[in-house]
Amino acid sequence: MTVLMAKLLSVKLYEKENKNQIIKNIKIGSQGVLGRKDYWSIANKTLKPSIKYPDRHPWHSKALSSHITGHHIISVASLKTLKSDYKTLLRLSKYNVNHPRNIVGLPTSPQVACQLNVPLHYSSHTSDAIPTIEDSPSYHVISSMLIKKMISLLLSKGICPGDSLEEQKKVLLNIDYISAIKLKYITNFKIVLHKTGVDYLRGNIGCGGVEKESLKKEGRECETRSHGYPFNKNDLMTSDHSRLLTIYEIENSRVVYNAN
């Protein structure tokens, strides 16, 4: 087991000072959803913003060719590997993997990711735009192992989502906490989405001075890591700057998870 995995699996149930505030704000859906759905339509329905996502996202600008894609923090692929009893518990709690609590907005433009020092994302992890991309199996293993650990902790406390609405909320609280924890390591590039992902960490080569990953020459650096975008990374970070905010947290500043 790696040092990172050992650290992740030391997770405890969420008992931070804003626990009750988060539980109060959790709305239970009509059913559990473990498969991929249109996360933007779910965000717009759940959050009801006047300007709809993805246009509402501060880094999304059609005029500047800056496009934002939603990324599932707990991956859909990881849920497929779970045993049926784990899936049943998630469905009983009405967990939706597409809910904005499990979605982070990431740029699809190498130059935007380069300037902001954030992970680059494509709508498909096997996009032809990155012919050498390799979806890391460890990314999905991390999600599934964290879910198994958290469910074990919940069951050890006698928490069963089939018993009451309050129990459902406790399950959702802690599964969403996993998203916050994992997002912290995505933000600091300890967990990367693909093998070139670490390029965008501050001090690394960034976009390599090109507009597409497929044009990047190995080892070539972007000297300035600045491309004139009027975006501020800190606007979408937690107050301690440890991680990016989920889409839900951007819209609900009172319910930000403390992932430390």
| pLDDT (mean) for 102-110 | 97
CA distance 260 to 239: 12
Is the pLDDT confidence value at 255 over 70? yes
pLDDT digit string (tens) for 50-83? 999 999 999 999 999 999 999 999 999 999 999 9
Within a 10 A sphere around the Cβ of 146, how many other Cβ atoms? 22
- At 214 the pLDDT is 83
pLDDT digit string (tens) for 153-167? 999 999 988 889 999
- At 195 the pLDDT is 80
CA distance 20 to 14: 10
**Residue whose token pair is 């991680």:** 243
- At 123 the pLDDT is 52
pLDDT digit string (tens) for 22-54? 999 999 998 999 999 999 999 999 999 999 999
Is the pLDDT confidence value at 133 over 60? no
For residues 212, 218, 224, 229, the Cα torsion angle rounded to the nearest 10 degrees is 20
CA distance 124 to 134: 11
Give strand pairing partners of 33: 96
Is the pLDDT confidence value at 187 over 80? yes
